[in-house]
């Protein structure tokens, strides 16, 4: 991994480029450290969905074949970030030590990114960013990706958005077609956020795209059109790692038993950079929307449904949620369920990044374009999927596996040349 | 309901006899009060699974057509029991008042039952019980059922076991065939518990049978043989109403996300008669087994899995469970989930009794014999079903509905005449 | 109680007038219902601090001798309010029924009140309020009180503020002396809130005053001066009934054991009118301040201390708090304590109203003027008391009892004639 | 610390020998590691009661002056045990590394101990134990102590029992006087447990004694007589570090507010050796008794009070308690409080060991003999103290400090020569 000798020689196995936007953030750092440690055999794959049935029946690109690169707006190194995280215990210091050399090599492939139109809370994190004309920014992103691909002779590059949550974009109707989107691009529309520029850059160039965050990313109509036109798979948004995951596992039980949920209160406290950015009301709005909506879909919209997110620095990478569910059963009897969930954000999110890269790469190899509904279980707001019931989402993944398991991998159908022609 | 004028005239609708063993217990009393209140239009059907999709697509016997009777070993009345329960709020006093006359009428159909071989804890509840030869006891039960059926001109009688939990029966191999079972019967086997005598009486006479409790009931091989032979549907055991319900909704999430559960501690406190009987270690064993096993099936058997049940009188009909789930994710990071569930036993169980009667009656009408796997979601230890994942169990119910929905109800196939020939 | 025949004849016992501002609110209604029920012997005194040692050693005015009156801005009756509350179970319907006649009699003594300068959230509750010149409002309040006193031949009237929480008053320095306060009064200062007008009316007329709420009330310097000048006892503010009570019981343990609290998160959800008014950010500010400050005083100000209050209608009169305490011990080991508190606001607050009336009346009888520090344990922001450790506050009450226990009650010292001369 | 050059030269400061029975256990190991780390300035004193007011006003022996030794029945080393613990994070590995040399030096002073009459669960831990005549065992213990004292030229040696919990001793009346105790000794009474032999050895030889565990230790009448006769201070038993600590902080609040506790359920799960030994019902009995009794003393004995302790290996050194408090207030309204406490046993207990050594040494220096009630706040079953209210117990400590603060230390009064004459 990251070792160029092996890289060029491993002709048989797929070599998958993993390009992380927000490469120095906690989730990206954890994903990189974890992938290196798994590849080196010093860490097991607990927490990776693709390492248990049904996904083990698919011929997925191996984590050992991952090559990492990315963009960030901070001046630091992955090793520095990993060591900072290790002080809180996740990843643990011995693991970071074991893969330190590989982390240093990856820094060569981290480029200066853009945080244009991401709100004040994100701006304060930035050391240096790419600015200027939107089309110029996109050109620069694509040049970085192309250079990365060529340098490492990669079969395929997956772009994953892991950058801090942006403020919600209003008026998405203005970007509902590719034409409108490109008109906005050329007019240097001051509302178009960085995450959508990255999505455009990836989809335009034919790279599979994952939006792990609540930011706008590839969710605009114009970008969906671009993905279909270029035959590129993409999926998002807002990875489902903790409280919302539980909601989508528990909510269907209340529904199926015909219990009447009166109120579902969720109070989240968290302490990492994610928490600090979300402490800004503007950036929090998007997150709250995707967290809250899942229950409405499962239980109907007639109950009191509140989600709070607060920043509690002492928790570090830990996220704690308290949920209080007030419901009514037969005889109008009022009852309650409460839970607290104390998770490590990085330990929960990092393996899902690796899973999604493997699965979207698999879809790409099989020529699947557009949104990938079988990945719904990974997201709070799964694109083009109305189903939020976790078990039904898992069933969608199982069906995908049934379809592709045991097949010798077919050649993917011819793909339209990407707009930039530079591949 | 219970009104004889209407009863005889409602020729079009099914008239379903509901025979409750343990008729004066909390769950039975609640089921009766609730059914009367629903039939009278003074209570909504929140908590009834059959009153929401998918089951609403089935042509089920209506609650309005239920006629109640049963056995008990205590000297009291349903109204007395209902009023005692209403002091704790469930069912609420106004509801009990509204159906008081109907409750008094039902007492006419409650006969003296048996609690033979049910353990000391149950014996202390008894005012008077049927004793003597086992075959004599069975004859008496069947005579009561036949008389009930004839008196009310019922289309069908469903027997539901709601009596207090018996001690676990050891050496079930001795009853693994019908022949062995009947040999034991004739030998007055001192280990054969009341619940299995009731099951035999029902299945032998061709009555659908539901075991709502953890007691042995119809779970013996010989009784399964009898049900198949007589073409009678039956299902059990141990209704899934609270903590275990949650376990089977949450457990699959840990499995699907490849999270490694280290320990799952469950501590239950409850205050009703059920709790008092379970305070006896002998009677508790069966309950603990069915509560604990569900997780092993979902998560494997490699983790620490403990269930405690304690009697806390001040809780009355309320059941509180605290579950503590210690698990490990990526990077060997340890995390925790805790929940408390504060439910009303009666409010949760009573509507399921009504659901099960409707569904087993439906199966009976369609000529289905033996265990009914599509009812697995109702039970902690569903007979002949290894699947404990709640959502997959619900999917089994949905499939059943798909099969039978919209069909004009067919005539049930001819059924072998029941052993006793007395119908 | 409220029966005029008995009232005039009970010459031996003290007859204490209890004048409740916000008489139709939940706490006032509960206090009235509870006092009547205790007086009638249909309710025990669980929850009343004055009914257990040490206070039982004091010769306190009896609840049987209480005569109720008050002000409100809503058009309703106490019985109506009590019945509405009884639907949620507290007080229970049978109790309300038992004292219904007495409640109807008390309505005669509820006058139209003022809600001037109380914020929009309170305004929306009002049916009709007293407006106009501030001095005119005060005159009207005093006339109501005098008439109540005379009509019932009361030994003493205690005014208790139970009205909804007002927005925080800024610039309290402007009212730091009696002269400045009265200047503001005459200038019809648009910032002076109703609670302070009531406090002025009471203290000016020589009536003991209790501020049970977080509103400004008697906390201004000018009013303290007035109380001292007139020799009137008063105390406030913000009764300590739930989450904050626990904080002041638990916080000292962390301090005494030299444990380092890193974060103390408190999330409160509640569903009554109090919750609705507090849902307005303006009105919430005062409440949050007094809830948060207690911990700073006990643990120092170096930790993360957040209090949230949210309105959850389905809870009705119930208040639920979740507190999460993240702390560090020896070896820098991080540990956690969490609690949830599920209390009935009325059941917790009502008996404290009765306690405070009895205790402030006792202080008044013994000629004590100004703030009453021995009542600190009842309040989140006890006037003139820096000690928030609950056990030390209880010790202050015990010392007071030691001083006054067993004494034959002395004549109170001569009191300066109140400003209005009308007593 | 443990450095002989410094040891002999630090003539000015007190040199206190700390003799730990169960020296290789978690609490002892933690106390030793912690003391070394504090002495070396690599660890702060968070969690030590003696390092904050009021105790900082006392002239206490310094932790820097502690010299450690002890008895154990296992073959291992302190460093080995400390490293094993560090894998779970407490103490953290860097701290253990920093004091590794000192730990190795201390092993020289750990002698083979006895576990006579400690029950099967403890026996399984033993590699080698001292057996034989009880008087012979005591002689050997005293010889070890004397040698330790002489070798290190100690001013004083404090013996602390930290060994695993023994089964409850029945028939304590047989040891109610010194004469009876010594008769039993000579008769090799097979019921006399190791903890009492250690206590006898210490008190007989004039060494202050602390029983940190629920074992019998110095609690027998005969040993109390011995302590008085020899003028030796001693105190116990069962250090109050977690759930019980909270109970004694919260319980008084319910009492003072006249709330009626109906049930207080406590469920403890823990994963260390302590948990494994307590998993044996025989050894658990004593622990449960002292945990349960504190509430009876505070709240009366009329409520349902249950304590459960279960062994959950995955928790390691962590202890988690769930407490559920069901109580009733005014209007007979039922309410609930729940808490979970997630503490590290070692991090909570170790600093208290150091505190108790310092405080009992101080008492010894001031010539105080017998039980030391001012140390009640440290224990679940404080000897000769009926008060369990934590804040009142802290007040007793404050009073002690007030008595001895600022005093130039007086010469202790002449002490009776210890029985053995060997000092």
Q: Which tens digits make up the pLDDT trace of B368-385? A: 999 999 999 999 999 999
Burial zone of B302 (CB within 10 Å; 0-12 exposed, 13-18 middle, 19+ buried):
exposed
Phi, psi dihedrals of residue A58, rounded to the nearest 5°: -90, 150
User: What pLDDT shows up at residue B1?
Assistant: 35
* Count of residues in chain A: 423
The residue of chain C nearest to residue A264, with distances taken between CA atoms, is: C312
Query: Is there a contact between B420 and B205 (Cβ–Cβ < 8 Å)?
Result: yes
Residue B125: pLDDT band with limits 50, 70, 90:
low
Over residues A307-316, the mean pLDDT reads: 91
Give, as one character, the DSSP assignment of residue C168: P
Q: Which residues pair with residue A261 across a beta bridge?
A: A327
Give the contacts of B314 (CB within 8 A, at least 6 positions apart).
B271, D262, D263, D303, D304, D326, D334
Residue B13: pLDDT band with limits 50, 70, 90:
low
Kindly state the tokens that stand for D171: 């028939």
CB proximity B267 to D under 8 Å: yes
Kindly state the tokens that stand for D398: 């404050």
Whether C176 has a pLDDT exceeding 60, the answer reads yes
In the block, residue with structure tokens 């009756």? C77
pLDDT tens-place string over residues A278-303: 766 666 776 777 676 889 889 987 88
User: What pLDDT shows up at residue C130?
Assistant: 67
Q: Select from C252, C330, C390 the Cβ nearest to the Cβ of D351.
A: C330
Q: How far is residue A322's CA from residue B340's CA, in Å, rounded to a whole number?
A: 11
In the block, residue with structure tokens 């939006």? A211
Q: Select from C265, C312, C340 the Cβ nearest to the Cβ of A312.
A: C265
Phi, psi dihedrals of residue C239, rounded to the nearest 5°: -60, 140
In the block, residue with structure tokens 């005579």? B143
Kindly state the tokens that stand for B331: 């990077």
Q: What b/e string do you get for C37-75 counting C-beta neighbours within 10 Å, with b at 16 or more?
A: bbbeeebebbbbbbbeebbeebebbebbbbbbbbbbbbe
Whether C271 has a pLDDT exceeding 70, the answer reads yes
User: What pLDDT shows up at residue C36?
Assistant: 98
User: What pLDDT shows up at residue D113?
Assistant: 83
Q: What b/e string do you get for B172-181 counting C-beta neighbours within 10 Å, with b at 16 or more?
A: eebbebbebb
Whether B263 has a pLDDT exceeding 80, the answer reads yes
Over residues C238-264, the mean pLDDT reads: 95
Whether C202 has a pLDDT exceeding 80, the answer reads yes
User: What pLDDT shows up at residue B129?
Assistant: 66
Give the β-pairing of A318-328 and A334-344.
Answer: antiparallel
CB contact under 8 A, D43 and C331: yes
User: What pLDDT shows up at residue C412?
Assistant: 45
User: What pLDDT shows up at residue A112?
Assistant: 87
Kindly state the tokens that stand for D53: 């007011």
Q: What b/e string do you get for D283-322 counting C-beta neighbours within 10 Å, with b at 16 or more?
A: bbebbbebbbbbbeebbeeebbbbbbbbbbebbbbbbbbb
Q: Select from D95, D329, D346 the Cβ nearest to the Cβ of C46.
A: D329
Residue C276: pLDDT band with limits 50, 70, 90:
confident
Q: How far is residue C285's CA from residue C296's CA, in Å, rounded to a whole number?
A: 17
CB contact under 8 A, C390 and D253: yes
CB proximity A85 to C under 8 Å: no
Over residues C68-79, the mean pLDDT reads: 94
Kindly state the tokens that stand for B212: 């709502």
DSSP-assigned letters across all residues of A65-124: GEEEEEEESS---HHHHHHHHHTTTSS-HHHHHHTHHHHHHHHTTEEE---TT--HHHHT
User: What pLDDT shows up at residue B89?
Assistant: 86
Over residues A226-251, the mean pLDDT reads: 96
User: What pLDDT shows up at residue A115?
Assistant: 75
CB contact under 8 A, D350 and C331: yes
Q: Which residues pair with residue D153 across a beta bridge?
A: none
pTM of the model: 0.91
Angle between helices C178-186 and C134-152 (to 10 degrees): 110
Residue D128: pLDDT band with limits 50, 70, 90:
low
CB contact under 8 A, B263 and D304: no
Over residues C404-419, the mean pLDDT reads: 51
User: What pLDDT shows up at residue C406?
Assistant: 62
- In degrees, to the nearest 5, what angle opens at C-alpha C146 toward C-alphas C140 and C150? 145
- In degrees, to the nearest 5, what angle opens at C-alpha D355 toward C-alphas D349 and D358? 145
Q: How far is residue B401's CA from residue B403's CA, in Å, rounded to a whole number?
A: 5
Whether D105 has a pLDDT exceeding 70, the answer reads yes
| CA B204 to chain centroid | 19
CB contact under 8 A, D326 and B308: no
pLDDT tens-place string over residues B56-74: 999 999 999 999 999 999 9
User: What pLDDT shows up at residue C374?
Assistant: 98
Whether C423 has a pLDDT exceeding 50, the answer reads no
Query: Is there a contact between A378 and A355 (Cβ–Cβ < 8 Å)?
Result: yes
Query: Is there a contact between C228 and C266 (Cβ–Cβ < 8 Å)?
Result: no
CB contact under 8 A, A249 and B245: no
Over residues A144-167, the mean pLDDT reads: 94
User: What pLDDT shows up at residue A284?
Assistant: 73
Q: How far is residue A393's CA from residue A376's CA, in Å, rounded to a whole number?
A: 6
Q: How far is residue A5's CA from residue B54's CA, in Å, rounded to a whole number?
A: 59
Q: In chain D, what residues touch C348 (CB-CB under 8 Å)? A: 329-330, 335
Q: How far is residue B342's CA from residue B323's CA, in Å, rounded to a whole number?
A: 12
- To test the contact with chain C by mutation, choose from A87, A312, A340 the residue with the greatest count of C C-beta atoms within 10 A, namely A312
Task: Write down the mean pLDDT value for chain C.
Answer: 88
In the block, residue with structure tokens 């008085």? D228
Q: How far is residue A240's CA from residue A291's CA, in Å, rounded to a whole number?
A: 9
Q: How far is residue D336's CA from residue D340's CA, in Å, rounded to a whole number?
A: 14
Whether omega for the bond prior to residue D259 falls within 30 degrees of 0, making it cis, is: no
Q: How far is residue D417's CA from residue D412's CA, in Å, rounded to a whole number?
A: 14
CB proximity D326 to C under 8 Å: no
pLDDT tens-place string over residues A253-269: 999 999 999 999 999 99
pLDDT tens-place string over residues B267-304: 999 987 777 777 666 667 767 776 768 898 899 878 89
pLDDT tens-place string over residues D311-340: 999 999 899 999 999 999 999 999 999 999
Whether C53 has a pLDDT exceeding 80, the answer reads yes
Whether B415 has a pLDDT exceeding 60, the answer reads no
CB proximity D312 to B under 8 Å: yes
User: What pLDDT shows up at residue C140?
Assistant: 93
Q: What b/e string do you get for A181-198 counting C-beta neighbours within 10 Å, with b at 16 or more?
A: bbebbeeebeebbbbbbb
Tell me which of C10 and D375 has the higher pLDDT: D375
Among D141, D164, D124, smallest CA distance to D23 is for: D164
Q: In chain B, what residues touch D324 (CB-CB under 8 Å)? A: 269, 320, 322, 340
Over residues B314-320, the mean pLDDT reads: 92
Give the β-pairing of B334-344 and A334-344.
Answer: antiparallel
pLDDT tens-place string over residues D261-271: 999 999 999 98
Residue D421: pLDDT band with limits 50, 70, 90:
very low
Where residue A184 falls (left for φ over 0; alpha for ψ -120 to 50; beta otherwise) is: alpha
Whether D9 has a pLDDT exceeding 80, the answer reads no
CA gyration radius, chain C: 21
List C-alpha distances in Å: D281 to B288, D309, D322.
Answer: 19, 10, 20
Among A290-299, A343-352, C34-43, C287-296, which stretch is predicted with the lowest mean pLDDT?
C287-296
Residue B121: pLDDT band with limits 50, 70, 90:
low
Q: In chain D, what residues touch C337 (CB-CB under 8 Å)? A: 246, 339-342
Q: How far is residue C226's CA from residue D398's CA, in Å, rounded to a whole number?
A: 39
Over residues C48-76, the mean pLDDT reads: 95
User: What pLDDT shows up at residue B229?
Assistant: 96
CB contact under 8 A, D337 and C335: no
**Strand ranges inside A271-317, DSSP E:** 304-311
CB contact under 8 A, C322 and A322: yes
Query: Is there a contact between B158 and B361 (Cβ–Cβ < 8 Å)?
Result: yes
ipTM reported for the complex, 2 dp: 0.90
Cα distance between the two ends of chain A: 24
Task: Write down the mean pLDDT value for chain B.
Answer: 88
Q: In chain A, what residues touch B389 (CB-CB under 8 Å)? A: 391
User: What pLDDT shows up at residue B419?
Assistant: 40
Q: How far is residue B383's CA from residue B386's CA, in Å, rounded to a whole number?
A: 8
Q: Which residues pair with residue D74 across a beta bridge?
A: none
Kindly state the tokens that stand for B375: 């009812």
Residue D114: pLDDT band with limits 50, 70, 90:
confident
CB proximity A336 to B under 8 Å: yes
User: What pLDDT shows up at residue A137?
Assistant: 92
Among A128-137, B198-207, B397-406, D103-112, which stretch is predicted with the lowest mean pLDDT?
A128-137
Query: Is there a contact between D166 and D115 (Cβ–Cβ < 8 Å)?
Result: no
Q: Select from B263, B304, B312 the Cβ nearest to the Cβ of D265.
A: B312
User: What pLDDT shows up at residue A349?
Assistant: 97
Q: What b/e string do you get for A259-270 counting C-beta neighbours within 10 Å, with b at 16 or more?
A: bbbbbbbbbbbb
Over residues C240-269, the mean pLDDT reads: 95
Among B22, B126, B116, B151, smallest CA distance to B74 is for: B126
Over residues A237-259, the mean pLDDT reads: 95
Among A210-214, A412-416, D67-71, which stretch is predicted with the lowest mean pLDDT?
A412-416
The residue of chain D nearest to residue B267, with distances taken between CA atoms, is: D267
Whether C255 has a pLDDT exceeding 60, the answer reads yes
Whether omega for the bond prior to residue B221 falls within 30 degrees of 0, making it cis, is: no
Q: How far is residue D71's CA from residue D21's CA, in Å, rounded to a whole number?
A: 5
Over residues D222-243, the mean pLDDT reads: 96
Tell me which of B274 and D155 has the higher pLDDT: D155
List C-alpha distances in Å: A78 to A22, A64, A130, B278.
Answer: 11, 19, 20, 57
Burial zone of C289 (CB within 10 Å; 0-12 exposed, 13-18 middle, 19+ buried):
middle
Give the contacts of A162 (CB within 8 A, at least 6 positions apart).
A20, A21, A22, A23, A25, A27, A28, A31, A212, A213, A353
User: What pLDDT shows up at residue C113?
Assistant: 83
User: What pLDDT shows up at residue B294?
Assistant: 86
- To test the contact with chain C by mutation, choose from A259, A261, A269 the residue with the greatest count of C C-beta atoms within 10 A, namely A269
The residue of chain B nearest to residue A353, with distances taken between CA atoms, is: B330
Phi, psi dihedrals of residue C128, rounded to the nearest 5°: -160, 135
Phi, psi dihedrals of residue B244, rounded to the nearest 5°: -70, -35
Over residues A40-60, the mean pLDDT reads: 96
Query: Is there a contact between B167 and B216 (Cβ–Cβ < 8 Å)?
Result: no
CB proximity D276 to B under 8 Å: no
User: What pLDDT shows up at residue C402?
Assistant: 96
Kindly state the tokens that stand for C394: 């209880």
User: CA quadruple B154, B158, B163, B167: dihedral positive or negative?
Assistant: positive
Q: Select from B267, B326, B338 the Cβ nearest to the Cβ of D314.
A: B326
């Amino acid at each position: 991994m990251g070792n160029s000798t092996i890289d060029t020689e491993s002709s048989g196995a797929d070599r998958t480029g993993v390009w992380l936007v927000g490469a120095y953030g906690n989730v990206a750092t954890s994903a990189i450290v974890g992938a290196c440690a798994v590849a080196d055999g010093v860490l097991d794959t607990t927490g990776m969905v693709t390492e248990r049935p049904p996904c083990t029946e698919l011929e997925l690109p191996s984590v050992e074949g991952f090559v990492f690169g990315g963009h960030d707006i901070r001046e630091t190194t992955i090793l520095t970030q990993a060591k900072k995280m290790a002080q809180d215990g996740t990843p643990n210091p011995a693991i970071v030590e074991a893969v330190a050399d590989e982390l240093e090599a990856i820094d060569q492939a981290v480029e200066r990114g853009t945080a244009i139109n991401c709100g004040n809370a994100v701006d304060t994190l930035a050391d240096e960013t790419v600015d200027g004309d939107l089309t110029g920014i996109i050109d620069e992103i694509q040049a970085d990706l192309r250079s990365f691909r060529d340098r490492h002779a990669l079969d395929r590059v997956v772009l994953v958005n892991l950058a801090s949550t942006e403020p919600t974009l209003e008026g998405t109707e203005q970007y509902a077609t590719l034409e409108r989107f490109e008109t906005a691009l050329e007019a240097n529309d001051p509302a178009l956020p960085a995450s959508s520029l990255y999505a455009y850059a990836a989809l335009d160039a034919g790279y599979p795209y994952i939006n792990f965050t609540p930011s706008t990313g590839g969710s605009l109509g114009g970008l969906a059109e671009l993905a279909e036109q270029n035959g590129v798979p993409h999926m998002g948004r807002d990875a489902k790692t903790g409280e919302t995951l539980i909601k989508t596992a528990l909510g269907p039980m209340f529904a199926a038993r015909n219990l009447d949920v009166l109120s579902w209160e969720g109070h989240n406290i968290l302490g990492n950079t994610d928490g600090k950015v979300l402490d800004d009301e503007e950036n929090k709005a998007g997150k709250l929307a995707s967290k809250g909506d899942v229950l409405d879909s499962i239980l109907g919209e007639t109950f009191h449904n509140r989600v709070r997110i607060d920043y509690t620095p002492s928790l570090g990478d830990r996220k704690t949620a308290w949920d209080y569910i007030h419901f009514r059963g037969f005889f109008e009897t009022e009852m309650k369920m409460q839970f607290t969930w104390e998770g490590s954000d990085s330990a929960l999110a990092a393996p899902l990044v690796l899973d999604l890269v493997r699965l979207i790469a698999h879809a790409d190899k099989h020529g699947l374009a557009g949104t990938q509904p079988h990945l719904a279980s990974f997201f709070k707001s799964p694109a083009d999927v109305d189903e939020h019931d976790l078990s039904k989402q898992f069933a969608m993944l199982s069906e995908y596996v049934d379809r592709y398991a045991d097949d010798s991998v077919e050649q993917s159908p011819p793909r339209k040349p990407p707009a930039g022609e530079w591949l």
